[in-house]
């Protein structure tokens, strides 16, 4: 596609349910990032994938959060047993191997009620 | 760890005027990249401008330019001839030039820019 595509755009879920957020990066981009943006806050790094290398999971806030990237392309961020504090916009980004320019999707707005 | 500080939570400017947004950062590295991103209400993060630390010349993109002061670790964004469409949240970001997981961006908390007609 022309840009980074994320789905769903908006998701309302009940506390305790699991959610999956999807990211389709720009074709040919080897690097993929997930960030979280809470209301009125900056962007918090969650996880980074680069090609076939082991992902950098250092930003995941708890073991309820996980992400995978299948075939070096599409990525899924999974949040298990959602809590109200998980409510945020989850932004995905991708870049080429050099990482010089990072392009963002429009985000998935998650609300946990 | 690198940190990025934007000391102005909010700024306002009159249409057609010039405004400067401040950003400072802390790093022990000598080679890195700095970015300004714009986030309008649509939430899309849009790259405004990029600066390579090894370049002394300040980056310019049309009405947007930066004042990069490496020794002072300062990276301000100047918007000339401000337009209503410039109204957005602006984020300053840092990225190491080293490889691997250092590729992740570290963001400041943002500056909300209002453009008054």
Least CB–CB distance from A50: residue in B50, B103, B105:
B103
CA A13, CA A30: separation in Å to the nearest integer? 31
Does A101 contact chain B (CB < 8 Å)? yes
Q: What is the pLDDT of residue B102?
A: 62
CA distance linking residue B71 with residue B69, whole number of Å: 6
**Would you call B36 an interface residue with chain A, using a CB distance cutoff of 8 Å?**
no
Q: Which residues of chain B have pLDDT under 50?
A: none
Mean pLDDT along residues A41-64 = 90
- The pLDDT, as a whole number, for residue A5 is 95
Q: What is the 3-state secondary structure (H, E, C) of A18-73?
A: CEEEEEECCCCCCEEEEEEECCCCCEEEEEEEECCCCCECCCCCCCCEEEEEHHHC
The CA distance from B44 to the nearest CA of chain A, in Å, is: 4
**Dihedral of the CA atoms A3, B93, B29, B52 (nearest 10)?**
60
pLDDT at A40 over 90: no
Spell out the residues 6+ positions from residue A72 whose beta carbon is closer than 8 angstroms to its own.
A30, A51, A52
Q: Considering only A20-24, A25-29, A65-69, A96-100, which range has the smallest mean pLDDT?
A: A96-100
Q: Is the pLDDT of residue A51 over 90?
A: no
* Span A89-97, average pLDDT: 91
Q: Which whole number is the average pLDDT over A49-54?
A: 86
Distance from CA of A35 to the nearest CA of B (A): 10
Q: What pLDDT shows up at residue A105?
A: 94
Cα distance between residue B51 and residue B34, in whole Å: 5
Instruction: Give the pLDDT score at B34.
Output: 95
Question: CA-nearest residue of chain A to B33?
Answer: A100
Q: Which token pair is A42? A: 């900056």
């Amino acid at each position: 596609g022309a840009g980074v595509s994320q789905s769903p755009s908006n998701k309302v879920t009940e506390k305790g349910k699991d959610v999956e957020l999807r990211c389709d990066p720009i074709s040919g981009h080897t690097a993929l990032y997930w960030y979280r943006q809470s209301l009125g806050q900056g962007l918090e790094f969650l996880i980074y994938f680069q090609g076939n290398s082991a992902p950098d999971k250092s930003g995941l806030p708890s073991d309820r959060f996980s992400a995978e990237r299948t075939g070096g392309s599409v990525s899924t961020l999974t949040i298990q047993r959602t809590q109200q504090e998980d409510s945020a916009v989850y932004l995905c980004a991708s870049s080429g191997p050099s990482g010089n320019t990072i392009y963002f999707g429009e985000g998935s707005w998650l609300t946990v009620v | 760890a690198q940190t990025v500080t934007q000391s102005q939570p909010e700024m306002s400017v009159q249409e057609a005027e010039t405004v400067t947004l401040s950003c400072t950062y802390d790093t022990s590295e000598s080679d890195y990249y700095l970015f300004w991103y714009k986030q309008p209400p649509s939430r899309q993060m849009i790259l405004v401008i990029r600066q390579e630390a090894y370049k002394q010349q300040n980056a310019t993109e049309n009405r947007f330019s930066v004042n990069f002061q490496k020794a002072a670790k300062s990276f301000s964004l100047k918007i000339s001839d401000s337009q209503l469409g410039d109204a957005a949240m602006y984020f300053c970001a840092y990225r190491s030039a080293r490889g691997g997981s250092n590729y992740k961006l570290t963001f400041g908390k943002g500056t909300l820019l209002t453009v008054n007609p």
